[in-house]
């Protein structure tokens, strides 16, 4: 009576459809090789501390004190913790009755949410309401909550940039919605192409899809492009005309490596536009402690801020958040600290500023080193990494390489990346994991390996690439 156990066939189809290449085939193969003793350079995920970036000192001091409040009672605590870290730990413990071990408000500690609101106000020049800011265990959980609230069925479409960070495609699959792609223009440095976007929307609608939301990732992942103010205005006008909620993934807002287009938040542009649009366009903005120069991925600290979302909808979002009880409290404290870091005059400021500047300056240099390094390789063309943490070079594979790949049952970029991994230990993610135009191949790597390791990594890549291209070059065409 009944089936034996739980068979693969009996699983939720939506689960089976989900793909997440960032920890997919390439990563699993890299892990296998690592177990066999091969030295692997993991550049598959934006995980700075895994590649040697050190945590900032001040936040770790504060959280350690919050973790073990008995330290604050010890007369010798001042010998190993600076006074401002001690004061800040007391500040957070006062905000969190019960300390780190108690569930907080399901939206996050009110005092931390206030710090987030104050940060947003300083950044944008417009007030922000802490009641509309929800802290989450990483930004991803917030993205999933919002998409789950929006997607009713397979006819609900979400506009997603291509290439995109595959959390979006995975979440849409999981919740049974429809991904409506809008292609970024590689020839224009991965710029936004609203003409193409409108075409996508029209095509989807003619197939019976109701477009509900538009995702933007600014700065972009994997592409790194930073949207201009004009771009953001276009997007907001578009969302207004088409009745879409804008989901603005701004987790890389502190990672900007050029000066022409500094980061501007979608919310600021929206309010700058004024008028009915500023009161009606619905916007959800996401941020995290995992990126920037903090890189505290393992803490799982994030937030989303809701703008122009109706109160009853907010109530439903609250209800779903309450089922998870609360985000992790240490992660919330990291967020508070990121929102209100040491200021000039604070004891810890000089060290904090030095650590931060050193990381950001190095990221900027590495963005350039990597872009130039890829561009020096045969059949590789790479847009400059304007922001975020990745490089997304285009690999122009010769026909023979593509044929060989396909007869091995692999997508050409997967084949290339596996060969790269086996030859050099560099673990990347094939462009197909992010989406790309048909027949155009890429890979994503990060700019995170230590600066001193970069030259060796780029030369190892070049050696592999150029010999791969040589091997598969179709000489009959020359």
Partner 1 sequence: MAATVAVENLNPKVLKCEYAVRGEIVIHAQRLQQQLQTQPGSLPFDEILYCNIGNPQSLGQQPVTFFREVLALCDHPYLLQRDEIKSLFSADSISRAKQILASIPGKATGAYSHSQGIKGLRDTIAAGITSRDGFPANADDIFLTDGASPGVHLMMQLLIRNEKDGILVPIPQYPLYSASIALHGGALVPYYLNESTGWGLEISDVKKQLEDARSKGIDVRALVVINPGNPTGQVLAEENQYDIVKFCKNEGLVLLADEVYQENIYVDNKKFHSFKKIVRSLGYGEEDLPLVSYQSVSKGYYGECGKRGGYMEITGFSAPVREQIYKIASVNLCSNISGQILASLIMNPPKAGDESYASYKAEKDGIIASLTRRAKSLEDAFNKLDGITCNEAEGAMYLFPQLSLPQKAIQAAKAANKAPDAFYALRLLESTGIVVVPGSGFGQVPGTWHFRCTILPQEEKIPAIISRFKVFHEAFMAEYHD
Footprint of partner 1 on 147-186 (CB under 8 A): 148-152, 167, 170-171, 174-175
Q: How far is the CB of 162 from partner 1 (least distance, A)?
A: 18
Q: How far is the CB of 184 from partner 1 (least distance, A)?
A: 22
The correct pick among 37, 39, 79, 260 for binding partner 1 (CB under 8 A) is: 79
Whole-Å CA distances, 419 to 162, 165, 304, 314: 25, 23, 39, 49
DSSP letter for 161, please: E
The number of residues in the chain equals: 478
Candidate ranges 266-274, 295-303, 341-349, 366-374; the one touching partner 1 (CB under 8 A): 295-303
DSSP, collapsed to helix, strand or coil, labels residue 181 as strand
Q: Is 213 in the site for partner 1 (CB under 8 A)?
A: yes
d(CA 113, CA 387): 27
Owner of token pair 């034996």: 4
CB of 68 to partner 1, least distance (A): 4
The two counts, helices (H) then strands (E), for the chain are: 18, 14
Tokens of 145: 């909550």
Rank residues 74 and 361 by Cβ distance to partner 1 and give the closer one: 74
- 18 sits near partner 1 (criterion: CB under 8 A): yes
187: Cα separation from own chain's centroid:
23
Site for partner 1 in 335-364 (CB under 8 A): none
203 touching partner 1, by CB under 8 A: no
CB 44, min distance to partner 1, A: 10
Task: Work out the angle between the directed axes of helices 412-424 and 454-472 (0-180°, nearest 10).
Answer: 130
Centre a 10 Å sphere on the Cβ of residue 316 and count the other Cβ atoms it contains.
Answer: 13
89 lines the binding site for partner 1 (CB under 8 A): no
Which residues between 48 and 77 bind partner 1 (CB under 8 A)? 48-50, 52, 55, 57, 60-61, 63-65, 67-71, 74, 76-77
Structure tokens at 259: 């000066």
Residues 214-253 touching partner 1, rule: CB under 8 A, are 240, 243-245
Phi and psi of 138, rounded to 5°?
90, 155
Which residue in 242, 213, 218 sits closest to 228, CA to CA?
218
The CA radius of gyration of the chain, in Å to the nearest whole number, is 23
Q: Which of residues 297-326 bind partner 1 (CB under 8 A)?
A: 297-300, 308-310, 312-313, 316, 319-320, 322-326
The reply to whether 106 sits near partner 1 by the rule CB under 8 A is yes
446-to-127, 390, 393, 423 alpha-carbon distances in Å? 35, 4, 11, 18
Does 33 bind partner 1 (CB under 8 A)? Our answer is: no
Quote the least distance from Cβ 174 to partner 1, whole Å. 7
CA distance 404 to 416: 10
Stretch that binds partner 1, among 135-143, 410-418, 421-429, 453-461 (CB under 8 A): 135-143
Asked if 197 touches partner 1 (CB under 8 A), the answer is no
Name the minimum Å distance from CB 102 to partner 1: 4
Q: What are 317's two structure tokens?
A: 């979002």
260-289 positions binding partner 1, by CB under 8 A: 276, 280, 282
CB of 341 to partner 1, least distance (A): 16
CB 394 within 8 A of CB 186: yes
- Cβ 430 vs Cβ 411: under 8 Å: yes
Cβ 296 vs Cβ 55: under 8 Å:
yes
User: Of 6 and 195, which CB lies nearer to partner 1 in the complex structure?
Assistant: 6
82 scored as a contact of partner 1 (CB under 8 A) = no
Nearest distance in Å: CB 150, partner 1: 6
Q: CB 467 → partner 1: shortest distance, Å?
A: 30
User: Whose Cβ is closer to partner 1: residue 150's or residue 405's?
Assistant: 150
Nearer to partner 1, 228 or 308 (CB): 308
Binding test (CB under 8 A) with partner 1, winner from 30, 86, 104, 108: 104
Contacts of 22 (CB under 8 A, 6+ apart): 44, 45, 166, 429, 433
Q: Pick the closer one to partner 1 by CB: 295 or 387.
A: 295
């Amino acid at each position: 009576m009944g089936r034996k156990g739980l068979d693969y066939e009996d699983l939720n189809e939506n689960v089976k459809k989900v793909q997440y290449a960032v920890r997919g085939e390439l990563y699993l193969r890299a892990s296998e090789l690592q177990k066999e003793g091969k030295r692997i350079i993991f550049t598959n995920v934006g995980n700075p501390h895994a590649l040697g970036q050190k945590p900032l000192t001040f936040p770790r001091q504060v959280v350690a004190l919050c973790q073990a409040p008995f330290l604050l009672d010890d007369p010798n605590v001042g010998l190993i913790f600076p006074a401002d870290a001690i004061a800040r730990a007391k500040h957070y413990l006062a905000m969190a009755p019960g300390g780190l071990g108690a569930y907080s408000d399901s939206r996050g500690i009110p005092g931390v949410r206030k710090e987030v609101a104050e940060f947003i106000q300083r950044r944008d020049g417009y007030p922000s309401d802490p009641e509309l800011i929800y802290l989450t265990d990483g930004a991803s959980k917030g993205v999933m909550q919002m998409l789950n609230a929006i997607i009713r069925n397979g006819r609900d479409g979400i506009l997603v940039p291509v290439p995109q960070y595959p959390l979006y495609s995975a979440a849409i699959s999981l919740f049974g919605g429809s991904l409506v792609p809008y292609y970024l223009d590689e020839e224009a440095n991965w710029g936004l192409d609203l003409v193409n976007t409108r075409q996508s929307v029209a095509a989807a609608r003619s197939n019976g899809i109701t477009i509900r939301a538009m995702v933007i990732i600014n700065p972009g992942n994997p592409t790194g492009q930073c949207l201009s103010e004009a771009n953001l205005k276009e997007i907001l006008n578009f969302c207004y005309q088409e009745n879409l909620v804008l989901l603005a993934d701004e987790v890389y807002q502190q990672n900007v490596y050029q000066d022409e287009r500094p980061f501007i938040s979608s919310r600021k542009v929206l309010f700058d536009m004024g008028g009915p649009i500023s009161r009606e366009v619905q916007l959800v903005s996401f941020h995290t402690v995992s990126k920037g120069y903090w890189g505290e991925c393992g803490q799982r600290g994030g937030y989303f801020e809701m703008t122009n979302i109706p109160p009853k909808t907010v109530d439903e979002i609250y209800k779903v958040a309450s089922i998870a009880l609360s985000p992790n409290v240490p992660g919330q404290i990291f967020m508070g600290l990121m929102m209100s870091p040491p200021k000039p005059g604070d004891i810890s400021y000089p060290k904090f500023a030095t650590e931060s500047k050193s990381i950001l300056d190095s990221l900027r240099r590495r963005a350039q080193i990597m872009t130039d390094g890829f561009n020096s390789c045969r059949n590789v063309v790479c847009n400059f990494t304007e922001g975020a943490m990745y490089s997304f070079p285009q690999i122009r594979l010769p026909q023979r390489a593509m044929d060989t790949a396909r007869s091995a049952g692999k997508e050409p970029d997967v084949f290339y990346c596996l060969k790269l991994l086996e030859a050099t230990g560099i673990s990347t993610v094939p462009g197909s994991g992010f989406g790309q135009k048909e027949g155009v191949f890429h890979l994503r790597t990060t700019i995170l390996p230590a600066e001193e390791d970069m030259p060796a990594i780029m030369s190892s890549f070049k050696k592999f690439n150029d010999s791969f291209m040589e091997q598969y070059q179709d000489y009959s065409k020359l």
